[in-house]
Structure 1
Amino acid sequence: MSAVAWPEARRHAREAARPLEGVQRRLPDALGCTLAVPLVALSALPAYDSAAMDGYAVAGTGPWQLTGRVLAGDPGSPEPLAAGEAVEIGTGAVVPAGAAAVLPYERATRTGRTVGGPIEPGRHVRRRGEDCPAGREVLPAGTVVNPVVLGLAASLGHDTLTVHRRPRIGTVVTGAELRTAGLPAAGQVRDAIGPMLPGLLRAAGAEPAWESRVADDASALVAALLRCDADVLVVCGATSVGAADHLRRALDTLAVEVPVRGVACRPGHPQLLAILPDGRYVVGLPGNPYAALVATLTLLYPLLGRLAGRAEPPALTTRLGAPVAAHHRDTRLVPVVRVGPAALPVGHDRPGSLWGAAGADALAVVPPGWTGAEVEVLPLPAAGIALPPPS
């Protein structure tokens, strides 16, 4: 099978999957998940007529005689007010029935138990449900649960949310030459993909389940592929056709469907997408770190987004603020920094180096034969997006 065009490869990855089942999660545990059903207001917002200012709730025309005080959190409902009556009131407190407005302290004059001042009917009273009535759908299914969504859900009366289960990811890092600590000796390299990948997975709404490291051994790779405790297996390295690259042969041994055997892009050409007989997915990432990042955004992110139930993000486009040499056949993925209406290439984008990508906020997608039109950009996960490891 020949290399798949870059846009087609992403379409394959998204269309290969279906969202995982919905589960109930406590609000803190739903962070980073995706709503499986719309978020509906269980309670009106505000839940009661409440004071928007500190001052006096007044009924009728002034001056008014004070009959008491109402503060936020007071139990029960205050006594209704008759015309000419007022109560001192705190912000957020229940406004008594009959109140025409809240007169703020700074606009009021008080002499003993008598209060006067100018009012506007309804002023500084937040009426029940004026922001959102009970039963209203406020967010659609497919919305990613961020901290603000958690706050909204709590304000609407939710203790739990129905979200799609996070995809569980098993990672297989291949290569006898990889070191995980210290300075590499001749013939060795530091593993850069292993430290990078967990944060990328969490930013995509997935849950790293386990990591296995294998040498360049076909049988060990087949054994890893047969593990059934992950929805997606990510294999780092071993995706090309060299003597030490066993992933393609291992997949052929298992009679696996491989809809993508290489993508026409630079870097990242030797990436692949496979579907195991039991329905699990395999994504092969090249062994070079920047090429692996490109493959993550090309195949792995669309697949994980679909499994996590995330709505497909709209395509973002911009113009490039400096010349970029297009390839005659392959799509180029170029690290850029977005500045105003343009994106500036940052350089240092060789397949084995993350230098350029580390200083970028997106990858520009430069199609074959590009002549200067606007290009699509793929945002890179920002600091703070990735979730902490599960406790």
Structure 2
Amino acid sequence: MSTDAAVTADPQAAPVTLAWTEARARAYDAGRAAAGEPVEVPLAEADGQTLAEPLTTLTDLPAFPTSSVDGWAVRGAGPWRIVGRVLAGGTPPPLTEDGTTVEIATGAMVPAGATGVLRVEESTRTADGLVTGTLRATPEWRSPGEEAYAGEELLPAGTPVDPGVIGLAASCGYDTLRVRRAPRAALIVFGDELLTAGRPGAGRVRDALGPAVPGWLRRYGCVCTAADVVGPVADTLDAHVAALRQALEQADLVCTTGGTMHGPVDHLHPALAELGAAYVVNTVAVRPGFPMLLARVTGADGRTRFVAGLPGNPQSAIVAIVSLVAPLLAGLRGRSMPELPRATLAEPVPGRGEYTHLALVRVDPVQRTAHPVRHVGSAMLRGLAQADGFAVIAPGTRGEPGNRVPVVPLPLLPDERVQRGPR
């Protein structure tokens, strides 16, 4: 079956369990196929978006010879007679006579005819108003095209836009950028047993995913606010269908928690069938994380939206996010499939038979060693709160100390990585 294949969401059909690597590829391909049309946005609104086309220079960089120091633009041998002054932003007249100079500021345009720039701290003004000094062997100005020539590609399409990219674009003369916008996500929490406040007890458990999942989605580049979280939704088919319909009106991606099995109150599969959804992925051979799904729904406007069914167990839900949601979002944003870094296992990690095992680990950023953490049951979050990512143990294997294995990094912000550090 090809990676873009999908089947109608039939709740009675036996699901096809996909290998973890194939499931990731299908999710990514589905996202790429459904990526929205690029839009033109002002530079001030481009942060966090994705370049939809290569960033090329509109002029040479720099566009004109630019002094890199404060000093004197001189022509010929010294001493030099002062004939003017040029500041940044001005266009100076050319130097036409040997033995002449103009005072020049850093960033100012070097006048035509200048043969060198003398640093102010290495110059002397004589009593009769001349300038003396010794020029350095290397030029003290930046030549046109030194950084890039007009039309040169600086960054490819698919590059994440950050302040560095915005600054570069501005220096090239751009006022707007053509980008793919961040998708909008919503979260629907299923489960009559869930509490949204207070302490768990008497058969009720605290909802840990409603407050947490939006933060994960935002770190993967979604727009997801508190207003985009709905639930807990009643454990009825009608309530599930209504909640999904409403969320899909606004969101590009709707994540749901729980209800991915086929129990008496698991209504997600029948609700997807009611909506005419088609499975992109329906169950993945991964532990923890079973069962998870990804389906697509075509709206009345013809646009494709997605539903990601996350398991109800909290750690399993995060495994579903890193396994299916992360590659889907990369595709929707026009970015490349996330490449997985590798680390050396410091301790043994058990395999899970024919399933891929995603094992929570802390990664020493210097030694690039992965250390398994404790408290990693599918319903536990203590280990997740201390981890940097998941070590990938391939089906039919176990992780031995010294093995180099892929690691799925958790999408921590840079300051969060610094604060956690090695333990």
Instruction: Give the TM-score band, short-chain normalised.
Output: over 0.9
Q: Which amino acid aligns with 1:194?
A: G
2 CA distance for matches of 1:81 and 1:335? Answer: 71
1:385 offset after TM fit, Å?
8.4
Within 5 Å, give how 1:288-327 maps onto structure 2.
Answer: 288-327=313-352
User: Does residue 384 of structure 2 align to residue 363 of structure 1?
Assistant: no
2 CA distance for matches of 1:151 and 1:385? Answer: 21
Q: 1:168 aligns with which of 178, 181, 184?
A: 184
2 CA distance for matches of 1:268 and 1:28? Answer: 39
Which residue number in structure 2 is paired with residue 389 of structure 1?
none
Contact 1:78 1:94 in 2 (8 A): no
Which residue number in structure 1 is paired with residue 44 of structure 2?
28
1:212 offset after TM fit, Å?
1.8
User: Does residue 253 of structure 2 align to residue 232 of structure 1?
Assistant: yes
Which residue number in structure 2 is paired with residue 104 of structure 1?
119
2 CA distance for matches of 1:302 and 1:55? Answer: 54
Which residue number in structure 2 is paired with residue 68 of structure 1?
84
Q: Which amino acid aligns with 1:84?
A: G
Identity of aligned residues (%): 46
Which residue number in structure 1 is paired with residue 381 of structure 2?
354
1 CA distance for matches of 2:315 and 2:354? Answer: 20
SS at match of 1:198: helix
Contact 1:101 1:121 in 2 (8 A): no
Q: Structure 1 length normalisation: TM-score? A: 0.92
Q: 1:104 to 1:220 in 2, by over 3 A?
A: same
1:332 offset after TM fit, Å?
1.2
User: Does residue 300 of structure 2 align to residue 273 of structure 1?
Assistant: no
Q: Which amino acid aligns with 1:331?
A: T
- Compute the RMSD of aligned alpha carbons: 2.0
1 CA distance for matches of 2:186 and 2:163? Answer: 27
Gaps of 5+ in 2: 1-14, 417-423
Moved more, 146-155 or 121-130: 121-130
User: Does residue 203 of structure 2 align to residue 203 of structure 1?
Assistant: no
1 CA distance for matches of 2:110 and 2:280? Answer: 64
Which residue number in structure 1 is paired with residue 27 of structure 2?
13
Within 5 Å, give how 1:33-112 maps onto structure 2.
Answer: 33-73=49-89, 75-112=90-127
Alignment length, in residue pairs? Answer: 385
Which residue number in structure 2 is paired with residue 262 of structure 1?
283
Contact 1:218 1:250 in 2 (8 A): yes
Q: Which amino acid aligns with 1:231?
A: D
2 CA distance for matches of 1:99 and 1:358? Answer: 62
Q: 1:242 to 1:78 in 2, by over 3 A?
A: farther
1:155-185 CA-to-partner distances (Å, cap 9, x unmatched) read 1111211001322222211112223333234
1 CA distance for matches of 2:17 and 2:331? Answer: 23
2 CA distance for matches of 1:201 and 1:366? Answer: 25
1:99-128 CA-to-partner distances (Å, cap 9, x unmatched) read 112111232222142112222466111112
1 CA distance for matches of 2:108 and 2:264? Answer: 74
Contact 2:186 2:253 in 1 (8 A): yes
User: Does residue 195 of structure 2 align to residue 179 of structure 1?
Assistant: yes
Q: Which amino acid aligns with 2:285?
A: A
Q: 1:338 to 1:267 in 2, by over 3 A?
A: same
1:131 offset after TM fit, Å?
0.8
1 CA distance for matches of 2:97 and 2:88? Answer: 21
1 CA distance for matches of 2:100 and 2:214? Answer: 63
Q: Structure 2 length normalisation: TM-score? A: 0.86
1:165-213 CA-to-partner distances (Å, cap 9, x unmatched) read 3222222111122233332342222222122222222222222272221
Q: Which amino acid aligns with 1:211?
A: V
Q: 1:245 to 1:81 in 2, by over 3 A?
A: farther
SS at match of 2:189: strand
Contact 2:289 2:317 in 1 (8 A): yes
